[in-house]
A and B are shown apart, each in its own frame.
Chain A
């Protein structure tokens, strides 16, 4: 009764929770993607897409992905054998226990004639599967806490997953052990299944079970004489053996029974098997009820992600389906850290101390963002840097064991944050190459230039004020300039700009300067003027000029300079300087006044 009630409650929570989560796949939004797609349109598009796939040649791709990616999990195998072994043991063992043991009256009984939980092979297999799960758990703990796999982070959710599985399995084995040793259980079995009336026979079979099967009896104790055991064997074979294999087959439970044998009578007297039974089923039911809200929901989301990404080609699916898929993919991420392990920008994360550069951490953030969590300024700036400081090497997407199309996700979120977040100076670096490369030349600019202009304004916003020709040139900032100079000196192997004698070779040879009829107007300061400004200690002026951001870094100026001024390197230093000085607390880009460039 209690069992049925708890089962239905937890099952109901599981079903409602799963529906809620899956509804979220179709209702939640992420990134810049089309804003006005309704949930019903997304459901229709998804169903259409699924049907179209099933009734096309792609069905074979889908079947192949199901076998290799979902069942065999070759993506994990390719990455790391130990990890694959761990995952296969855990999920294989747990799934088999679920089918054979937890759902025995629905699955095993109807399928296999003569099923009894106490008969082989079921009796033995249950223990074998449990052993698989325990071995998997041991590898999981080893990887996290002893091997300390790089960039595999352990959060509360990861600990929860390990603990709930461990409690289910360990309580199950303990329960079996206690039942094997329990005299009460023995008596019940004899009463229910055996037809023995003769007290001598009863004593004989009891002695036989105590001697051979780990039962601890208050009445009889070994060593027994051979006659009694022989008689016990006869009675056992006549009454018990058909429905109960030797307890040793349930090796986990049997070992437990032997270990607890000194206290078995006490445990029996306090009804320990009932207590453990409750622990066992409560752990199972709470695991089931909480599954949709935990990391374990990947059991459902990850196969969906693997299958969807196997058949959905880049740029060919409908926007509605891409949106739905991207929200779903967040649930498919298990934060296993594979992406971060292979992330090309990992050293930047190390250097800047920004974890959001690592893909697996970005995903955790996205989950929060999609759930509608408000982010503080610090978080928003960090995540913005994190999504933009990406070399677009696509390695994360290639290695993700859940098959998540991470690169597509980054593009989407990146554009969203650029349009609505803070000015991002990284836009003025070669990280933007891919944004330029992917730009649709035939489309209207669609806000393409806005983030660039915002960033330019942020790093050089007060340049015009500094350069106001109606005002005399103050050298008042020289003292500060000296300090800055010192810093620049540290970076560019010497303050070589002070050797500049103004021949203008750098400016003459610069292909950027040469591209314009009105270079001073377009670039602010020309290369030789920048060197001059630095000579005068006017670092802010030098660092405010647009020239430094329009530098190709082709090094022609530096190569040709007769005075060996490291012009290109100095421009790099000035860019670093401008970014360091940028007050990132500036207003969001929406309220930054637009300038015509």
Chain B
């Protein structure tokens, strides 16, 4: 299996641990990742102000993957949602597609909707499969409670993202369970992390984050698990800042899924960038059952 690896903008700049851990884990499952420097922003942040700039950005990436005859493997859920949304708009609107293609043609590209967009969790769940993952889990977790954070832009609008059942999804929970961890039930599992409003309405953004964290802690979670750089930054960097002014609360740190999984596969924690998170997650290894 070979994919065009789409990192987006946040990961190379601020969440490199997501990239390195994803590479380390995917390599073990024989998934080959092709890197393209010509990939640009997915268009997500442009969508608020200019739909066309968003579509053109997304389409450019889709067309690059198409030219290489590869499906895309995406790490960021906001990138994933944007690329899927653009795909669906262009599919339904032929004249818009031709207009976009006229511009793409200047770079020798054309978008015809031939490549598929997949999130890393979908690839692990559907393409690799739980059994194959299980066979690589050599030192599973024991007695650890993990709160899965699904991430809005993968889950909804479900007709477009086709990620999982939007009301009672199980994909991420299953992926967590396969590591030996307990995926807890918590009320705010499917809600937004708050990141989309960070910088626009900080107070609201932080309120929503705080509510999620409170609910997660109350539900007995040791860690949140994420698979999106925006969610992760919100729960990691932003939470750390919130704690710096919010008294003596205990943090509920976020661990990225490839980090969580990679540790059970015996991958060195340095290679998984465990130390690169803002909040300390090194204690997670204490839950590992040693061989």
Contact = CB atoms under 8 A, between A and B. Distances in A.
Contact of B192 (A392, A439, A552, A572): A552
Contacts of A216: none
A553 B152 contact: yes
Contacts of A554: 152, 156, 191-192, 196
A350 interface: yes
Interface string A416-439: 000000000111111111111101
B60 interface: yes
Interface residues of A, number: 55
A42 B103 CA distance: 48
A568 interface: yes
Given A442-B245, A493-B93, A512-B204, A575 B152 contact: no
A347 B51 contact: no
B20 to A, nearest CB: 16
A295 interface: no
Contacts of B197: 550, 552
B199 A579 contact: no
Contact of B56 (A344, A351, A452, A555): A351
B195 interface: yes
A439 B49 contact: no
Q: Could you say which of A345, A442, A552, A568 has the most chain B C-beta atoms within 10 Å of its C-beta?
A: A552
Interface of B is mostly: helix
Contact of B45 (A429, A452, A550): A429
Given A351-B53, A392-B9, A432 B199 contact: yes
A573 interface: yes
A242 B24 CA distance: 68
A348 interface: yes
B132 interface: no
A129 interface: no
Interface stretch (B35-43, B110-118, B256-264, B268-276): B35-43
B110 to A, nearest CB: 15
A366 B46 CA distance: 24
Contacts of A428: 48-49, 200
A576 B51 contact: yes
Contact of B205 (A343, A436, A568, A579): A436
B52 A351 contact: yes
Interface stretch (B25-33, B120-128, B174-182, B235-243): B235-243
B200 A426 contact: no
A487 B208 CA distance: 33
A511 B207 CA distance: 10
Q: Could you say which of B153, B199, B201, B230 has the most chain A C-beta atoms within 10 Å of its C-beta?
A: B199
Contact of A345 (B8, B41, B156, B208): B41
Interface in A349-372: 350-352
A555 B207 contact: no
Given A437-B238, A511-B192, A554-B191, A348 B48 contact: no
A550 B199 CA distance: 11
A430 B44 contact: yes
B50 A348 contact: yes
B233 A437 contact: yes
Interface string B141-162: 0000000000011011110000
B48 A575 contact: yes
Contacts of A431: 45, 199
A432 B156 contact: no
A430 B48 contact: yes
B13 interface: yes
Nearest to B47: A572
Contacts of A437: 14, 198-199, 233, 237-238
B12 interface: yes
A568 B200 CA distance: 17
A155 interface: no
B92 interface: yes
B49 A426 contact: yes
Nearest to B233: A437
Interface in B243-265: 244-245
Of all A-B residue pairs in the complex, the 9 with the closest CB atoms, nearest first, are A432-B199, A436-B199, A393-B9, A555-B156, A430-B45, A436-B198, A429-B48, A554-B192, A554-B152
Interface of A: 150, 342-348, 350-352, 389, 391-395, 425-437, 439, 441-442, 452, 491, 493, 511-512, 515, 549-550, 552-556, 558-559, 566, 568, 572-573, 575-576, 579
11 contacts: A347-B43, A428-B49, A429-B46, A439-B241, A491-B51, A493-B89, A515-B208, A555-B155, A576-B50, A579-B48, A579-B49
Given A391-B41, A429-B200, A554-B152, 9 more contacts: A344-B41, A347-B60, A351-B52, A389-B46, A436-B205, A439-B241, A493-B92, A493-B93, A555-B153
